Amino acid sequence: MVDHADGIYLWDKTGRRYIDGSSGAVNVNVGHGNRNVIDAMKRQLDRVSFAYIFQFENEPATELARGLAERLPNGLDRIYLVSGGSEAIEASLKLARQWAVATGQDKRWKIIGRMPSYHGITLGALAVTGDDVLTKTFDAIDRPMPMVPAPLVHRDADNLSMQQRGIRYADLLEEKILQEGPESVLAFVMEPIGGAATAALVAPDSYYPRIREICDRYGILLIHDEVMTGVGRTGKFLGGDHWSCRPDIVALSKGLSSGYAPLGALAATQRIVGPVLEMGGFLHGHTYGGNPVACAAGVAVLGEVDRLGLIANSVAMGELLKGELEALSRRFPFVADVRGKGLFMGAEIYANPATRKPLPQGLNANLRLIDLAFERGLIIYSRRVRGGPPSDNFMICPPLIVTPDQIGEIIAVLGDSLAALAAELDLPVEG
């Protein structure tokens, strides 16, 4: 039972302290107990806590939309506000489809996703999520979409260079489009840097421009799911900014309010939004869309990201963290494929890293590692990859306010936890 939280730490009711090495669900970017965010929300509660978006505009919503439009690249300046990540994805998929209808392309409806991937837990989001365990039960009432393999390039045993692999994975999208019939394909949705399903998976540089090229060739919209990677988490405002990506629609949530209120957003270009508005408006809307208190939190969070220089800190602390994780990987050779950008880092746990042989899945090694770390006062993030080749992974994603000393603390406890895992599972340890 949680009691209180401050900075990168949480305390339970018994007084035990935990380091938040996962920023909650990779969302508490500005850290816990941020006074400026809390005060901004309190001020908004005192003025007006709710005004229905179909009856009134409100200043925080307008300011948040303006703040996002200024920070987002490539004309992504039309903003729609929702209450979470799954909602942002649902609305993105619907916006894409309504754009097709509004532009006389009714036959386009297929949205290609990646296997594995995670885009949220509502039906539309599950339809494009690559995770058999989460989706199969609901296939009967959902409309599962075509999938292409996520670029798990670190697992490939071929003679190609990483850049060649990037092209090869991107070209699988073209193959899928041709197989499905290009006139029926509406969009491709991807996490520019993989989240829960692939633990900070970064594709080779060659992948990103090739994907855009293929989407352009067939008139297909590119939707980036930046729910986890957006708002500075990876050391740029958007994960896709590392490659100057040009998505047509971007979904945001998590770090946007840093956990202080349920909040999400989608951003799209005028090319998409214009025809939808001309058609009579977006056929969408939630009671809590553009909620004044949630938006006040969002505005304050954007302010704190700037004031505290959190994107630069994500770069600097991310480099430190990556170096430390690589050192742990040398000490514990069963940990391999350390990857990520900024404070969005992941690694795999293998039975044999040389052959990428996974541990027996029945061992639930990733869950065991979470428990061992939790017992030692460190929270880490892990979800088993469920789709594509079996594997265990974990992520280290502390709040972007983390200091060098705190990175040291995280690594010390993680090292103890890995030593305990090695002892339990009889895995090799160096030195």
Ligand X SMILES: Cc1ncc(COP(=O)(O)O)c(C=O)c1O
- Residues of this chain that bind ligand X (CB under 6 A): 25, 84-86, 89, 118-121, 191, 195-196, 225, 227-228, 253
Residue (191 or 248) nearer to ligand X, CB: 191
In the bound complex, which residue of the shown chain has the CB atom lying closest to ligand X? 85
What's the number of CA atoms in the CB half-sphere (13 Å) around residue 21?
Answer: 28
Side chain identity at 58, as an amino acid letter? N
SS3 of residue 368 by DSSP: helix
Residue (196 or 336) nearer to ligand X, CB: 196
What is d(CA 370, CA 297) in angstroms, rounded to the nearest whole number? Answer: 30
Residue whose C-alpha is closest to residue 109's, from 144, 149, 150:
144
Residue (329 or 393) nearer to ligand X, CB: 393
What is d(CA 239, CA 245) in angstroms, rounded to the nearest whole number? Answer: 9
Distance in Å, CB of 266 to ligand X, minimum: 12
45 close to 252: Cβ distance less than 8 angstroms? no
DSSP letter at 111 equals E
Residue (120 or 411) nearer to ligand X, CB: 120
Distance in Å, CB of 38 to ligand X, minimum: 21
Cis-peptide into 292, omega within 30 deg: no
Distance in Å, CB of 382 to ligand X, minimum: 13
Distance in Å, CB of 347 to ligand X, minimum: 18
What is d(CA 9, CA 324) in angstroms, rounded to the nearest whole number? Answer: 20
Residue (25 or 172) nearer to ligand X, CB: 25
Residue (225 or 409) nearer to ligand X, CB: 225
Q: What burial class does residue 268 get, using C-beta atoms within 10 Å of its C-beta: 0-12 exposed, 13-18 middle, 19+ buried?
A: buried
Distance in Å, CB of 249 to ligand X, minimum: 13
Distance in Å, CB of 26 to ligand X, minimum: 7
